[in-house]
A and B are shown apart, each in its own frame.
Chain A
Amino acid sequence: MSAITTLPEAIAELVGDGDTVALEGFTHLIPFAAGHEVIRQGRVDLTLVRMTPDLLYDQMIGMGCAKGLVFSYGGNPGVGSLHRFRDAIENGWPNPLEVEEHSHAGMANRYAASAAGMPMAIMRGYRGTALMAHTRVEEIECPFTGETLVAVPALDLDVAIVHAQEADRDGNVQLWGIPGVQKEAVLGARRSLVTVERIVEALKPRPGGVVIPGWTIDAVAEAPGGSLPSYALGITERDNDFYKFWDKLSRDRDEFRSWMDEHVMAEVGAR
């Protein structure tokens, strides 16, 4: 049974400097509130893992939380670049960022391997691309057919943080809509935190619902609206205008920092 706690307490207990942390959510259910709490508590030297860094990691990178990034698509979906991510890689601001990049299929398989407790996953892909030489993958021969495949290493996650629509009072969690790799992240990490829109008496089965039993989760914290400007299907709507606004605001270091000071560090509402 997971402990139902507050977000600040959960972050203080579960996330340490230097940890490898995955805050997952594929466009949907991105745990912004939890990421903002990590920023407010001043964690540094994190290796951030996420398929699509999105605005949340742009903010965490720009605020100096990260020393490394493991990812597969570093763009502002449908809008363009992530400017803080680019500034860190192109100019080392606010600090240099060590990058390990994969394809989506590679990352998805790395999460699945970690959830399965396997050292690696095998797949078709990568071969013929320049990624082979720039990331951690190896060719491997299928012992049954002789086909050359590619092995990707399991992710080694200290902490997984995801957002879901609901938890019950025992900390069992249910999410629905686009499920991304959240279940794999929670099962594959040594420690896990789930933030939820609301805590309910009992979970009601939903079409396409993914249930994560409370005994596999360390902490559950209530964070209404905690995935905005991403969204929680059925409860909040994706703030597409904010994604466009971010493209302009985040180009400038000072404007970025003052926006973060006002809207995140001062804890004025969870964005």
Chain B
Amino acid sequence: MSTPPSLPRTPTSATAAEIQTIVAARLLRDARSVFIGVGRPSTAAILARELYNPDLVLVYESGTIGARPWRIPLSIGDGELAETAEAVVSVPEMFNYWIGPGRIQVAFLGAAQVDRLGNLNSTVIGDYDHPKTRLPGAGGAPEIALGCPEVIVVAPHSTRTFVEKLDFLTTVAAPKAVITDLGVLEPDPETKELALTELHPGASAEAASEATGWDLAIAATPATTEAPSAAELAALRELIAR
């Protein structure tokens, strides 16, 4: 991995989505346990367990603790999760005994809208009583964000998602990091406002600014994300193809 950053490091260059997934997976290198929904965060967590952290405990809100899925599940309640879990618990137990007291270290969350403080909307677009788009709703997110010591938000970087004002405040996430397909945003230690601190290979600060619905703060010298290695990319593609 000693190739200069300007040269491609992989046989086939990674897509922005692949980089986003791999960056999310790397954040779990040293984590004990992670709470995940379906989609890209779930792919990232399964990849992390296979590549860097075989002891990582995967927890799904369906009640499966320590699941070891071989395939990416379509739903959080797929049979493979229950069959491979260390423990399967009821929903009240999951929230009251496991998530609430902070037993699950990291939470991965997504959302339809994210604001500059990392608050999330997954409830409605438009007015609550007469919504333009009715979204699925809170699910487990509010209490997962409250209970888990570290929250990581994974979301596509666009002005539709990163908005000046949320249409509905579903979850006070206070994320440690927001991973987008362009880079990584982290909160300012004092103001808590998200600032761009890292750019993925091929992405620019201008593109990130344009894709953000507020005047995005940018670190003096944003770091460049380490490009996915051939091994990381191959493992991700193989996982998705299963």
Question: Knowing A129-B170, A178-B62, A183-B90 touch, does A105 contact B77 (C-beta < 8 A)?
Answer: no
Q: Does A73 contact B (CB under 8 A)?
A: yes
Contact present for B91 and A51 (CB under 8 Å): yes
Within 8 A of A (CB), among B70-110: 73-79, 81-83, 88-92, 94-96, 99-100
- B128 interface residue (CB < 8 Å to A): yes
Rounded to whole angstroms, the CA-CA distance of A193 and B149 in the bound complex is: 40
- Could you tell me the distance between the alpha carbons of A81 and B91 in the complex, rounded to whole angstroms? 22
Q: Is the CB of B134 within 8 A of A130?
A: no
- Residue with the highest number of chain B CB atoms closer than 10 Å, among A79, A89, A102, A179: A179
Residues of B within 8 A of A125 (CB): 142-143, 146
Encode A93-112 as 1/0 by CB contact (under 8 A) with B.
00000000111111011011
Q: Measured between alpha carbons, how far is A75 from B75 in the docked complex, in Å?
A: 11
Query: Does the CB pair B100–A179 fall under 8 Å?
Result: no
Q: Determine the chain A residues whose CB is within 8 A of the CB of B25 once the complex forms.
A: none
Answer yes or no: A243 CB below 8 A from chain B CBs.
Answer: yes
Interface residues of B in 101-158 (CB under 8 A from A): 123, 128, 131-143, 146-147
Q: Kindly list chain A residues whose C-beta atoms are within 8 Å of the C-beta of B171.
A: 129
Query: A residues within 8 A CB of B217?
Result: none
Instruction: Kindly provide the distance from the CB of B126 to the nearest chain A CB, expressed in whole angstroms.
Output: 9
Determine which of A27, A28, A111, A231 lies in contact with B92 in the assembled complex, contact meaning CB atoms within 8 Å: A111
Q: A243 touching B140 by the CB < 8 A rule?
A: no
A152 CB to closest chain B CB (Å) equals 11
Partner of B88, one of A109, A128, A178: A178
A123 touching B96, Cβ below 8 Å = yes
**Is B82 within 8 A of A28, CB to CB?**
yes
> Would you call B201 an interface residue if the criterion is a C-beta within 8 Å of the partner chain's C-beta atoms?
no
B181: interface (CB < 8 Å): no
CB of B61 within 8 Å of the partner chain:
yes
Q: Which of A39-47, A138-146, A194-202, A233-241 contacts B (4 or more CB under 8 A)?
A: A233-241
Tell me whether B136 and A231 are in contact (CB under 8 A): no
Whether a CB of chain B sits under 8 angstroms from the CB of A180 is yes
> Is B38's CB within 8 Å of the partner chain A?
yes
- Pair B146/A124 contact, Cβ less than 8 Å: yes
- Determine if A74 is an interface residue (Cβ-Cβ < 8 Å): yes
- 9 closest Cβ pairs, A-B complex: A27-B77, A75-B136, A73-B139, A77-B75, A105-B143, A105-B95, A104-B140, A78-B74, A78-B38
A-B contact pairs, 29 of them (CB 8 A): A26-B62, A26-B91, A27-B78, A73-B136, A73-B137, A78-B76, A81-B135, A82-B136, A86-B133, A89-B131, A108-B91, A126-B142, A129-B172, A130-B170, A131-B142, A134-B128, A178-B63, A178-B81, A178-B88, A179-B89, A180-B62, A180-B63, A180-B90, A180-B91, A181-B90, A233-B83, A238-B74, A240-B74, A240-B75
Where the two chains meet, the residues of B that have a C-beta atom closer than 8 Å to any C-beta of A are 38-39, 61-64, 73-79, 81-83, 88-92, 94-96, 99-100, 123, 128, 131-143, 146-147, 168-172
